[in-house]
Amino acid sequence: MRRWLPRTAAGWTIAIFGAMAALFGAVGLIAPDVVLGSMGFEVLESRADGDYTRVFLAASSMASLNMGVYYLVAAATEWRPFFRFTVPFRLLTLTVFSSLVIFEVAPASFLGVALWEGAGAVATGLALAYDAKRAPVRV
């Protein structure tokens, strides 16, 4: 079991995000209304023909579950290039999701998702800098 635990600060940031992404994805597949409500979207009793909200949510949730697993594998294997790769792309996600709120495409509560991505990017970036000053990691 110990070999699957992250060995660096950056590894822990990746593992935490991965676990949360996998959990959020699983919840979206099992209880989509919970996810819709938590993101500030209206939860409707029924959907009109041609409303693909649930289909899109299922696809997004599956992507989140898969991404979470990728992050957990990267953390367990201490795949540092992946850690570095996530920082600018999570900042890009922050920018896109914030823009959706600013341009009123998404509700203001969706800003929480954007801020989570930004905080994760900053945490991983700082952890990578911290780890670089420490002794080399054995992989």
In a domain, 37, yes or no: yes
Name the residue among 124, 130, 128 with its Cα closest to residue 17.
124
- Residue 1 clears pLDDT 60, i.e. is over it: no
In a domain, 30, yes or no: yes
Cβ contacts of 15 within 8 Å, gap of 6 or more: 5, 6, 71, 72, 75, 76
In a domain, 139, yes or no: no
Looking at residue 137, its pLDDT comes to 58
Looking at residue 74, its pLDDT comes to 97
Determine the residue type at 56.
F
Looking at residue 53, its pLDDT comes to 83
pLDDT in tens, 24-56: 999 999 999 998 888 778 888 888 888 888 899
Q: Is the dihedral of CA 61, 62, 66, 69 positive or negative?
A: positive
In a domain, 29, yes or no: yes
- Structural domain harbouring 77: 8-133
In a domain, 78, yes or no: yes
Q: How many domains does the chain have?
A: 1
Q: Is the dihedral of CA 86, 23, 100, 55 positive or negative?
A: positive
Q: Average of pLDDT values for 71-87?
A: 96
SS (H, E, C) 82-103: HHHHHHHHHHHHHHHHHHHHHC
In a domain, 138, yes or no: no
In a domain, 45, yes or no: yes
Looking at residue 135, its pLDDT comes to 67
In a domain, 1, yes or no: no
